[in-house]
Chain A
Amino acid sequence: AQSVTQLGSHVSVSEGALVLLRCNYSSSVPPYLFWYVQYPNQGLQLLLKYTSAATLVKGINGFEAEFKKSETSFHLTKPSAHMSDAAEYFCAVANSGYSTLTFGKGTMLLVSP
């Protein structure tokens, strides 16, 4: 079965600092991996996805993630945090039939001035 572990339920950074949100996965098939963002009182929005093409994936709002098979990781980064990045971030992995997503428990990103 597929699973996702997000390390840290909360991450705090200062505005302008590097953002690093960690995600490790387990998958019995070649993984498809996703990062979603949820702003307060809103639905989820896709940031980026890895579907077996380039291992470095660029997404919206300056975010990117690198697929590392040897580490079973798909960490999300952004060079410089903005206040508007404060939100909950979810990592997800596709199931073996690529028909559903299993989500991690989310990481709340807090950005201070």
Chain B
Amino acid sequence: DTAVSQTPKYLVTQMGNDKSIKCEQNLGHDTMYWYKQDSKKFLKIMFSYNNKELIINETVPNRFSPKSPDKAHLNLHINSLELGDSAVYFCASSQVSGLVTDTQYFGPGTRLTVL
């Protein structure tokens, strides 16, 4: 009964490959996010979706493409992986508005390593 789940937990791949990370929330929330946490633990928003619509895209390379098939799922597809993409990727969700006054609930993270 995990609130926000991500798969896989670990992902090791070669440069140039394409990979996807899946996120699901069972909280009934309308807004979902992707964050990237680099090796220095710096955490930065990448995207947010509200009711399956993209509302925030923070100057992320277009090799990264989020997809929201329904409001409970927000997947992240990454094309042509680069070494600098190695990081921990967190999915999060919040209840209604997409405003930060709504508490964000984070998934456990996906550690991506690009070799």
Binding site for B on A (CB under 8 A): 32, 34, 41-46, 49, 51, 88, 90, 94-95, 98-101, 103, 105-106
In whole angstroms, what is the CA distance A100 to B101 when docked? 10
User: Chain B residues with Cβ under 8 A from A49's Cβ?
Assistant: 101, 103
Known: A105-B41, A105-B42. A98 touches B108 (CB 8 A): no
Contact B108–A99 (Cβ < 8 Å): no
User: Chain A residues with Cβ under 8 A from B41's Cβ?
Assistant: 88, 105-106
Contact of B106 among A32, A44, A88, A99 (CB under 8 A): A44
Contact of B44 among A32, A88, A103 (CB under 8 A): A103
**What's the dominant secondary structure at chain B's contact region?**
loop
Binding site for A on B (CB under 8 A): 4, 40-45, 48, 55-56, 58, 90, 92, 98-101, 103-104, 106-109
Contact of B104 among A42, A46, A106 (CB under 8 A): A46
In whole angstroms, what is the CA distance A44 to B43 when docked? 10
Write 11 A-B pairs (CB below 8 A) sorted by A numbering.
Answer: A32-B100, A43-B92, A44-B43, A88-B41, A98-B99, A98-B100, A98-B101, A99-B56, A99-B99, A105-B40, A106-B42
**A90-B43, A106-B42 given; 11 more Cβ-contact pairs under 8 Å:** A32-B101, A41-B109, A42-B109, A43-B4, A43-B90, A44-B90, A49-B103, A99-B56, A101-B45, A103-B44, A105-B40
In whole angstroms, what is the CA distance A44 to B107 when docked? 8
In whole angstroms, what is the CA distance A91 to B100 when docked? 14
CB contacts between A and B, total, < 8 Å: 55
Contact B99–A43 (Cβ < 8 Å): no
Contact B108–A41 (Cβ < 8 Å): yes
In whole angstroms, what is the CA distance A88 to B4 when docked? 20
Contact A103–B43 (Cβ < 8 Å): yes
Contact A99–B40 (Cβ < 8 Å): no
Q: In the complex, what residue of chain A is closest to B99 when comparing beta carbons? A: A98
Known: A90-B43, A94-B100. A43 touches B107 (CB 8 A): yes
